[in-house]
Amino acid sequence: MSTAPDFLLRAAEPRDVPAITGLIHELAEFEKLSHLVQVTPETLHPHLFGDKPVVEALVAEAGGAVVAFALFFTNFSTFLARPGLYLEDLYVQPALRGSGIGQALLERLGAIAVERGYGRFEWSVLDWNENAIRFYEKMGATVMPDWRICRITGDELKRFGA
């Protein structure tokens, strides 16, 4: 494990949108999903900072640069009858992995869920990402083996919604 660099966690600000967009592209490359990425600063900005934001983000700064982000939103549990926090994406640049940034982001998100009175904190992990799975389990998360994500997107969504 590398020595922890100095880093600052904070809520994302409008000036961070280009950096977050760049990190999203890095994440997509890591996940071998670059062909699916459509995000630009112009398309992301209104969802974070527009009239009706639907997502929030935390960023980590090190050396004056944004080097990590966590993008999250509120979901709802009908069983608990309480909102929850859903982490859509968390990404730390490879050179800073193992420095404590990822854990700090997750712990801050957990604290946000508690502060807001949410009933749970959830996220997904790719089944091939063994390092992430071990990291999450070490932090106390349960990887839910019985649940699968269902998704309709693109042209299929247009047909389905017609």
On whether the CB atoms of residues 40 and 104 are closer than 8 A, the answer is no
Rounded to the nearest 10°, the torsion over CA 89, 90, 91, 92 is: 170
User: Which residue among the candidates 86, 91, 118, 136 is catalytic per the annotation?
Assistant: 136
In this structure, the strands spanning 82-92 and 121-123 are parallel
Identify the burial level of 14 via C-beta atoms within 10 angstroms of its C-beta, where 0-12 means exposed, 13-18 middle and 19 or more buried: exposed
Q: Catalytic site residue 136?
A: yes
Q: Which residues are identified as catalytic?
A: 136
